[in-house]
Amino acid sequence: MSERSEKLLPATLSGVRPGEGPAVTEVIAQCGLHTEDITAELLRNTILARKGPRIIGTVALEVSGSFGLLRSLAVLEKFRGQGVARQLILAAEKSARQMGIHTLYLLTLTAEKYLSRRGFESIERSAAPDGIQDTAEFKSLCPDSAVCMKKSIA
């Protein structure tokens, strides 16, 4: 067995359960991502990775027609490097396809290299569709220095 498959942490993936909003927000904040614009609707489109009862990772989709903003991709430091984010991205892509989304966008300050290995390509921020540019993340929460990335999942 390769070293990589030995290190894979088989997280349990699921949605947010009633009352878990504050715990989800806490994980996202601990990973240095903004939480100001997290709504009940976004929590409905959030996938969690758990190890036992503990939330160890998150990813969320903000939907704008057939476009999606992938956001709140966060894995607690202690659990990084074991494929948890990889599993979360795959689950988010599957869920996005089920919602009729064909293209994902995101903004990142720190994970451009990692996300390019996950199939995202860097684009001009102005090239994102209007509905994506209208999100709070684009309009005010992510600084101009954040890199905009796109992935076709059709």
Ligand X SMILES: CC(C)(COP(=O)(O)OP(=O)(O)OC[C@H]1O[C@@H](n2cnc3c(N)ncnc32)[C@H](O)[C@@H]1OP(=O)(O)O)[C@@H](O)C(=O)NCCC(=O)NCCS
Q: Interface residues with ligand X (CB under 6 A)?
A: 4, 7-8, 31-33, 73-75, 80-86, 106, 108, 110-111, 114, 117
CA-based radius of gyration for the chain: 15
Residue 83: CB atoms within 10 A of its CB come to: 18
Written as six digits, the tokens of 62 are 């903000």
Specify the residue, 16 or 70, whose C-beta has the smaller distance to ligand X. Answer: 70
Least CB distance to ligand X at residue 18 (A): 25
Specify the residue, 24 or 73, whose C-beta has the smaller distance to ligand X. Answer: 73
- Our CA dihedral for 137, 143, 147, 153, rounded to 10 degrees, sits at 0
Least CB distance to ligand X at residue 87 (A): 7
Residue 68: CB atoms within 10 A of its CB come to: 29
Specify the residue, 16 or 72, whose C-beta has the smaller distance to ligand X. Answer: 72
